[in-house]
Amino acid sequence: MNDLVIVFPGQGSQFPGMGKTWFDAHQSVRDRFRQASDILGHSLEELCFTAPPGELTKTVNAQVALLVLGHSMYEVLHAERTPPVSAMAGHSLGEITALLAAGALSFEDAVRLVKVRGEAMQLCAEENGAGMVAVLGTPVAEVEKYVAEFNAAGEGVARTVQVSNYNAERQTVLSGALDDLKDVTAHLEERGCKVARLNVGGAFHSTFMANAVPAYVRAIEAIEFSQPSVPVYSTVTGRMYSGVQEIKDALSVQLTSPVRWSTVVSALADREVALWLEVGPKQVLTKLLRDAVDGGAVHSLDTEPDEAYAALDVLVERKRREPGLVGLCLGAAAATRNRNFDEQQYEDGVVLPYRQLQELGQVDKDALSDVQKTAALELLHTIMTTKQVPETEQRERIAALLARTGDTHLHTATVAGVPAG
């Protein structure tokens, strides 16, 4: 239980003056702000620190400011601690910050993409007169049932209230036309639900954003994405991204698809996370996580940096004492029951590969390249195949090793001869 998960917040976490402490303390943050300002054509520093509060709240401004600040904070964290990140995720816009932090796209491309995203979403929101409400304290299944009842009882008038954010088991966000939201609020409150109007500029993550999609998709297609260096989870599918095309496909429908944050959290919680770290302003996701997960520490780097760094230092020390991937491969090879009693096959397929694993084990685990780690996995595969371990069991065991070390980007498909299913 030594996994570290980094999460990045989305729109709604912005506030006037956000990031000022980081900006003043770190040259790298100032450099990123000014680099982004050159791309945007206006001062991000002024927008965050001195502009009227209403300016930062605008979708076109809030999104790019959150991206730049979140990524800048992560770069500071990485420079100071080199955190052993096992996975990343982000809420809505924060997913792009996660992809940027994981090296899936360049900083310049990310800023340009989010600029287009914010502009398209704001324009679309101004056209359709829709909004969002949060339903608090009611299980998701009940909210979905009540919304379906409301939409079906339109008496010839089409109602399109939609679930747009699955934030937690008892926190659901709805999107819809303003009149429909007023009526559905009454419908929900009659059934004992607590409903809060959200101060946002549109009905995000719903079909009301359809007109924003073409410009956003064109911007996505213009970017050269790469495989993330650490696993990143999609809030469109709720799963870890498996490749570049899946990133582009999911981002292309992100604006009109609900944010499945609770699904992502559940999937990550299965990894037995030791530390969840929110990187970005405020602590919106920190609060959600503390209500949703058990057994792992949850901290905001912005609001409680001392606690966050202390928890990270403890985790780093625990990770240092753990065996690396090669050590785990050696242990798995030695512990695997042998069903092959051909002496020559055993010599060639078990003894010799095990000696090669031992040689790789002489390399410091933190200095191992992905090529060397993949070689270790291939040697383990050879040993298990020779010992006649079924392929399904091999895949499961290798996946477990990768999950334990945080090397899940070395998907089993990269291991020669092991079908990925």
SS3 40: helix
Respond yes or no: is residue 206 known to be catalytic: no
**Nearest one of 159, 196, 156, 164 to 177, comparing CA atoms:** 159
Q: What is the DSSP letter of 348?
A: I
Q: Per the structure block, which two tokens stand in for 361?
A: 């084990």
- How far apart CA 209 and CA 202 sit, in angstroms, is 8
- How far apart CA 63 and CA 70 sit, in angstroms, is 11
DSSP of 280-347: SSS-HHHHHHHHH--SSEEEETTT-HHHHHHHHHHHHHHHHHS--HHHHHHHHHHHSPP----HHHHI
Question: Which is the catalytic residue, given 71, 91, 187, 205?
Answer: 205
Q: Per the structure block, which two tokens stand in for 15?
A: 């506030």
**Nearest one of 171, 203, 197 to 184, comparing CA atoms:** 197
Q: Per the structure block, which two tokens stand in for 132?
A: 């969002």
SS3 68: helix
Question: Which is the catalytic residue, given 13, 92, 257, 300?
Answer: 92
SS3 4: strand
**Nearest one of 45, 50, 66 to 115, comparing CA atoms:** 66
- How far apart CA 407 and CA 342 sit, in angstroms, is 34
SS3 198: coil
- How far apart CA 300 and CA 4 sit, in angstroms, is 13
| Per-residue b or e along 60-90, where b marks 16 or more CB atoms closer than 10 Å to that residue's CB | bbbbbbbbbbbbbbbbbbeeeeebbbbbbbb
Residue 239's contacts (CB-CB under 8 Å, 6 or more residues apart) are 233, 267
Respond yes or no: is residue 205 known to be catalytic: yes
Show which residues are catalytic. Answer: 92, 205
